[in-house]
Amino acid sequence: MASTMISLASATPSASLSVQETLKGKTRLGSGSVSTLFNKEKGNPSNKKKSFGRISMTVAVNVSRFEGIAMAPPDPILGVSEAFRADIDVKKLNLGVGAYRTEELQPYVLDVVKKAENLMLERGENKEYLPIEGLAAFNKVTAELLFGADNPVIEQQRVATVQGLSGTGSLRLAAALIERYFPGAQVLISSPTWGNHKNIFNDARVPWSEYRYYDPKTVGLDFEGMISDIKAAPEGSFVLLHGCAHNPTGIDPTPEQWEKIADVIQEKNHIPFFDVAYQGFASGSLDADASSVRLFAARGMELLVAQSYSKNLGLYAERIGAINVVCSSADAAARVKSQLKRIARPMYSNPSVHGARIVANVVGDPALFNEWKAEMEMMAGRIKNVRQKLFDSLSAKDKSGKDWSFILKQIGMFSFTGLNKAQSDNMTNKWHVYMTKDGRISLAGLSLAKCEYLADAIIDSYHNVS
């Protein structure tokens, strides 16, 4: 604790008077509270004469060693929920965070997750530490779910899979691997992208640049711009791709466009790096949503894939995911896995077991696996119904002739509305609709009953706010 001493003095020809400041335990960290003690000059007990003396005062002010740390800005996504909770309006809608809600707008725990947890209780499984790489049964079913159990990369043991702290933690492990073993290599990130991608690579000190992705004129994919920017990047760059249900736009390349993207990445000797956060949750099909990753793997390319079970199994708080690195040989995969473990050890030591066991039970058991697929289809179907109802409401209410069909062309839990920051602010300030300032809304937080209200808010904001 630092202490600042301040001395104030004034002098006259007469006798002296001293003012001694004492703290007596009253000063707290960062506080300027003081107490003072005045001692009268001896020799003037009657105090009849006016006496002017020299006054000195010493002030001790405690200054925090952390004084130089500024207040961090609120997270642009999680901060939306904080503002939503503070709003008392009954009409309020939280369309910011990508978390699935029921038609009653309540959190949903999958039935198959409850069954998997009951199995864990029946077995009386312990809470011992997992190995650094995570639960072996989880890693096995996770890689098979992503690539397919009969995929050559699985059979040839060319995949290094390490359990991570959901998608974010898995991305962070991969970023540390890039920084350590590919010094100077940059990561290409779509414009726009999930808000945390840039934070992750900045924190890992990995340089990044953007490639064009979203075309505001069509509210669609700027495919030519994307291809051009990937071609122009330095050879050997990492290209971050969203496996399905691109966040925030909901705009995915077509199968033919994926082929062309793979062509260019191979030509430039780039390394594809997939973020797969919505497998099975986007279309309702696990295989369809993994098709982009499997296309690249089938070409014999080395690649990285971060996975998350937050959305498709609703395990948001369990923080369960994985990083997969597909290598050209089993030997290379073993060495990569050893280094991923080395990175994880000082970062968080080892991952949590609860979510990993849920995944291993669900994916590894044929009966539970089929139940899970049915529940995913139900969740994906609800979002598709909401997407359709929102489009119908906008088309019926908006008499300007604007084409809202882009909403139906997008996929997954998000819709990129095309609203700018001022219009998004109007959505919140006037209509109590909470969303990110880039115009993204989470359809997973919308109900059929609220679609018309949301359509009114969007139309007002689009046409009446410049």
| 49 has a pLDDT exceeding 60 | no
Span 122-153, pLDDT tens digits: 999 999 999 999 999 999 999 999 999 999 99
pLDDT the model gives residue 52: 52
pLDDT the model gives residue 146: 98
Could you tell me the sign of the dihedral formed by the alpha carbons of 410, 411, 416, 417, in that order? Answer: positive
Span 444-464, pLDDT tens digits: 999 999 999 999 999 999 999
The residue among 32, 33, 7, 37 whose CA lies nearest residue 22 is 37
pLDDT the model gives residue 54: 63
Range of the domain at 201: 129-364
pLDDT the model gives residue 62: 84
| 13 has a pLDDT exceeding 60 | no
| 24 has a pLDDT exceeding 80 | no
Span 148-178, pLDDT tens digits: 999 999 999 999 999 999 999 999 999 999 9
HSE value, Cβ hemisphere, 13 Å, CA-based, for 183 = 1
The residue among 17, 24, 12 whose CA lies nearest residue 57 is 17
Residue 230's identity, in one-letter code, is I
How sure is the predictor about 81, in pLDDT bands with cuts at 50, 70 and 90? confident
| 420 has a pLDDT exceeding 50 | yes
| 346 has a pLDDT exceeding 90 | yes
Rounded mean pLDDT of the chain? Answer: 89
How sure is the predictor about 56, in pLDDT bands with cuts at 50, 70 and 90? low
* Same domain assignment for residues 155 and 249: yes
Residue 116 lies in a domain: no
pLDDT the model gives residue 231: 98
Residue 123 lies in a domain: no
Span 351-404, pLDDT tens digits: 999 999 999 999 999 999 999 999 999 999 999 999 999 999 999 999 999 999
User: What is the mean pLDDT of the segment spanning 115-122?
Assistant: 96
Q: Which of 364, 390, 421 is the last residue of a domain?
A: 364
Residue 120 lies in a domain: no
Q: Which of 335, 364, 393 is the last residue of a domain?
A: 364
* Same domain assignment for residues 264 and 143: yes
> Number of folded domains in the chain?
3
Higher-confidence residue: 29 or 228? 228
pLDDT the model gives residue 97: 81
Share of the chain above pLDDT 70, in %: 87
* Same domain assignment for residues 442 and 343: no
| 277 has a pLDDT exceeding 70 | yes
| 4 has a pLDDT exceeding 70 | no
The pTM for the full model equals 0.84
CATH number, position 202: 3.40.640.10
Which amino acids are annotated catalytic?
A: 194, 275, 311
pLDDT the model gives residue 37: 38
Tell me the C-alpha distance between 133 and 321, whole Å.
12
How sure is the predictor about 300, in pLDDT bands with cuts at 50, 70 and 90? very high
Q: Which of 310, 329, 364 is the last residue of a domain?
A: 364
10 burial level (CB within 10 Å; 0-12, 13-18, 19+)? exposed
| 17 has a pLDDT exceeding 90 | no
Residue 117 lies in a domain: no
Identify the weakest region by mean pLDDT among 6-20, 184-198, 394-408: 6-20
| 302 has a pLDDT exceeding 80 | yes
* Same domain assignment for residues 212 and 94: no
How sure is the predictor about 78, in pLDDT bands with cuts at 50, 70 and 90? confident
| 42 has a pLDDT exceeding 60 | no
Higher-confidence residue: 79 or 168? 168
Tell me the C-alpha distance between 97 and 226, whole Å.
27
* Same domain assignment for residues 43 and 133: no
Residue 11 lies in a domain: yes
Higher-confidence residue: 341 or 74? 341
Residue 70 lies in a domain: no
CATH number, position 408: 3.90.1150.10
Q: What is the chain's Cα-based Rg?
A: 30
User: What is the mean pLDDT of the segment spanning 50-78?
Assistant: 76
Strand intervals (E) in 95-236 = 159-165, 187-191, 208-212, 214-215, 220-221
| 77 has a pLDDT exceeding 70 | yes
* Same domain assignment for residues 141 and 223: yes
Span 208-230, pLDDT tens digits: 999 999 999 888 999 999 999 99
Residue 124 lies in a domain: no
* Same domain assignment for residues 49 and 9: yes
* Same domain assignment for residues 214 and 353: yes
Residue 119 lies in a domain: no
* Same domain assignment for residues 159 and 23: no
* Same domain assignment for residues 342 and 432: no
* Same domain assignment for residues 53 and 91: no
The dihedral over CA atoms of 72, 76, 78, 83, expressed in degrees to the nearest 10, equals 90
Q: Which residues contact 224 (CB under 8 A, 6 or more apart)?
A: none
* Same domain assignment for residues 31 and 176: no
Q: Which residues contact 81 (CB under 8 A, 6 or more apart)?
A: 94, 96, 97, 434
| 8 has a pLDDT exceeding 60 | no
pLDDT the model gives residue 412: 93
| 9 has a pLDDT exceeding 60 | no
Q: Which of 32-36, 56-60, 208-212 has the highest mean pLDDT?
A: 208-212
